[in-house]
């Protein structure tokens, strides 16, 4: 078919494997070359990852991009709104996040993949089980949304006692918008993400959050001056819609048939057996997050923003490394357990823990000794003043104390889910939350300490949580190589401490004599020089100390080279 109009010739339509029809234009290339590009691009997007490490690498790369856009979003917000206004924006997510975490993180994410893998060989059983699970979640979403909308005016004042009446009213209003406008599309989108990840397809599901963050940035940049906080709030809603829509081709590509059905099958019973403890685990952590909001609101205006931004900055490496590793590991750990390959499972656990330590311990130390320039780089917006910057930096260093343990936490919980045990992470989480809550209340209510003691409470409780999970997992698997873990970790710590000391001295000298750090661009160059020196020293010392995990770097480079080759193949089609 050929159509002429406005001087553009459009001819021939090609259907991609996802079912999406694309029209090709004859703008200097023939149909064969264009089709070749489409085929290569489709192959890149829908490629199934062959191993746990390559899956974690793809997820990590995409999460890095997504998180960078996320922090660009925070920096944009800090340029348009002061810390008191940002209190309202961030607090408005508390109740919608609570519902989301219960339904997705609790009821879906970790329990979905093992069920999908177990029944994937029988298409009818798979569709029946997965459709029933999704329909149950949708029914729960409707119930939670209706109840929350009615109770919002009463709940928000209870969890933000330090807010003024005007701040409470705005928080209620924006919370309702996020609950009704954002949440359903995030639920639908994560359903598609679960299907893709169960098939080891990570590219599109990792790209979706990038577009989500981009919409918030665009909405803030163009409309904040006119509509105030409503601009980024509605940007979040539009971003959630795009988050869902962009993943539909993955769903179509998998040829998965959704059924409007509710059946209590064996798979659904297994799901409920796994999900109930997991839901209670999430509820306990969400109660913990709500307590943090309540206590931070009592400290003073802007305190919750300081806590929130510092927490999310330390979540950057946790997400890029810990969460990505945890998400990518679950299908492989589940398969090893299903095939009764316990020795291989134990080796994967030990190697993964050490790999995570090797990557996250140096980051944690960098966040401690370079905390102020890091915060200035990420959040140094026009309206984010020096007092907020200093408080955020100190809070970040308090969070960094547990950063390696926080990263390992996501992997260890996936180990238990692969063993079809969600009860143990729940019990460990309850103990951790109780300790965190008690310490937080004592620090803030009774001792009247600053906001960063909320971060210290979190770090202490997270370390305890991970230790509990590790020793129980050690017992369940018949014993892990604990001595090897301790030996390698000690060498990692030695290399990090030496590299940190030398880099810290250099940063101080550069700050005083060379870089005028009153300007953001010079802060960037200061951090860049520090990172290059720090990384070089760390890798050199790791080689000197014969740290086995240094070979992870060469594996990373090889995997990246393979992925880069796929990208180059696409563009070579033009030639």
164 and 253 co-located in one domain: yes
pLDDT cut 90: percent of the chain above it: 36
17 and 156 co-located in one domain: no
103 and 174 co-located in one domain: yes
Closest by CA position to 329, among listed 412, 421, 258, 237: 412
Residue at 438 is within a domain: no
Angle of CA points 418, 421, 422, to nearest 5° = 105
10 and 117 co-located in one domain: no
If you average pLDDT over residues 23-37, what whole number do you get? 50
205 and 172 co-located in one domain: yes
114 and 35 co-located in one domain: no
Is the C-alpha dihedral spanning 219, 220, 225, 226 positive or negative? positive
176 and 254 co-located in one domain: yes
Residue at 166 is within a domain: yes
176 and 69 co-located in one domain: yes
Residue at 192 is within a domain: yes
56 and 33 co-located in one domain: no
Is the C-alpha dihedral spanning 462, 468, 472, 474 positive or negative? positive
Closest by CA position to 555, among listed 52, 53, 48: 53
Residue at 148 is within a domain: yes
Residue at 245 is within a domain: yes
Number of domains in the chain: 2
Residue 328, pLDDT > 90, answer no
Chain centroid to Cα 302, Å, comes to 24
Q: pLDDT-derived band of residue 574, with 50, 70 and 90 as boundaries?
A: very low
Q: Give 23's strand partners.
A: 13
Question: Higher confidence at residue 351 or residue 232?
Answer: 232
pLDDT tens, 440-493? 999 999 999 999 999 999 999 999 999 999 988 888 878 888 888 899 999 999
Highest mean predicted confidence (pLDDT) among 244-258, 405-419, 453-467:
453-467
Give the residue numbers spanning the domain of 175: 49-283
Residue at 80 is within a domain: yes
83 and 8 co-located in one domain: no
pLDDT tens, 204-234? 767 788 888 899 999 999 999 999 999 999 9
Q: How far apart are CA 450 and CA 427, in angstroms?
A: 30
Highest mean predicted confidence (pLDDT) among 42-46, 269-273, 320-324:
269-273
Residue at 195 is within a domain: yes
Question: pTM to 2 decimals?
Answer: 0.76
pLDDT of residue 560: 47
113 and 203 co-located in one domain: yes
pLDDT of residue 339: 66
If you average pLDDT over residues 339-355, what whole number do you get? 78
Angle of CA points 122, 334, 57, to nearest 5° = 110
pLDDT of residue 350: 83
pLDDT tens, 95-111? 998 888 887 766 666 56
| 12-21, 191-200, 532-541: least confidently modelled range | 12-21
114 and 263 co-located in one domain: yes
- Where does a domain end: 231, 253, 283? 283
Strand extents, DSSP E, 442-551 = none
């Amino acid at each position: 078919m050929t159509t002429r109009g406005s001087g553009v010739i459009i001819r021939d339509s090609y259907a991609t494997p996802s079912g999406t029809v694309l029209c090709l234009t004859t703008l200097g290339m023939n149909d064969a070359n264009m089709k070749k590009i489409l085929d290569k691009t489709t192959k890149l997007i829908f490629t199934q990852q062959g191993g746990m490490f390559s899956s974690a690498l793809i997820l990590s790369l995409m999460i890095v991009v997504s998180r960078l856009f996320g922090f660009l979003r925070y920096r944009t917000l800090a340029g348009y709104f002061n810390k008191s206004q940002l209190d309202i924006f961030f607090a408005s997510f508390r109740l919608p996040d609570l519902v989301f975490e219960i339904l997705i993180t609790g009821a879906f994410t970790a329990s979905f993949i093992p069920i999908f893998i177990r029944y994937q060989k029988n298409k009818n059983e798979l569709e029946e089980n997965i459709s029933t699970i999704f329909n149950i979640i949708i029914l729960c979403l409707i119930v939670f949304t209706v109840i929350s909308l009615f109770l919002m005016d009463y709940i928000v004042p209870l969890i933000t006692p330090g807010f003024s009446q005007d701040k409470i009213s705005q928080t209620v209003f924006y919370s309702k918008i996020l609950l009704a406008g954002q949440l359903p599309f995030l639920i639908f989108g994560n359903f598609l993400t679960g299907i893709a990840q169960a098939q080891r397809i990570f590219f599109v599901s990792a790209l979706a959050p990038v577009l989500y963050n981009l919409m918030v940035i665009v909405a803030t940049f163009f409309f904040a001056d006119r509509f105030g906080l409503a601009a980024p709030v509605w940007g979040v809603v539009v971003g959630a819609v795009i988050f869902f829509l962009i993943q539909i081709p993955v769903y179509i590509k998998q040829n998965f048939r959704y059924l409007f059905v509710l059946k209590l099958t064996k798979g659904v019973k297994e799901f409920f057996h796994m999900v109930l403890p997991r839901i209670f685990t999430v509820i306990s952590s969400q109660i913990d997050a709500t307590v943090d909001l309540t206590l931070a609101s009592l400290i003073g205006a802007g305190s919750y923003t300081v806590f929130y931004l510092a927490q999310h900055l330390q979540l950057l490496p946790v997400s890029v490394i810990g969460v990505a590793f945890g998400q990518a590991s679950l299908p492989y750990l589940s398969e090893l357990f299903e095939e009764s390959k316990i020795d291989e499972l134990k080796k994967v656990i030990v190697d993964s823990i050490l790999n995570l330590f090797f990557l996250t311990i140096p980051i944690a130390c960098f966040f401690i000794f370079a905390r102020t320039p890091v915060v200035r780089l990420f959040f140094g917006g026009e309206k984010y003043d020096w007092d907020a910057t200093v408080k955020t930096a100190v809070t970040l260093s308090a969070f960094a104390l547990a950063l390696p343990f926080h990263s390992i936490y996501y992997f260890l919980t996936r180990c238990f889910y692969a063993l079809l045990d969600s009860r143990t992470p729940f019990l460990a989480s309850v103990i951790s939350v109780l300790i965190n809550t008690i310490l937080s209340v004592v620090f803030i209510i009774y001792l009247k300490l600053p906001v960063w003691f909320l971060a210290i409470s979190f770090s202490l409780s997270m370390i305890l949580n991970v230790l509990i999970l590790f020793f129980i997992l050690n017992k369940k698997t018949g014993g892990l190589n604990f001595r090897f873990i301790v030996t390698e970790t000690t060498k990692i710590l030695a290399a990090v401490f030496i590299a940190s000391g030398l880099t810290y001295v250099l940063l101080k000298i550069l700050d005083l004599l060379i870089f005028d750090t009153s300007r953001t661009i010079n802060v960037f160059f200061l951090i860049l020089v520090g990172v290059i020196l720090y990384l070089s020293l760390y890798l050199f010392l790791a080689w000197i100390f014969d740290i086995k995990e240094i070979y992870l770097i060469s594996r990373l480079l090889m995997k990246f080279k393979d992925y880069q080759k796929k990208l180059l193949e696409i563009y070579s089609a033009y030639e």
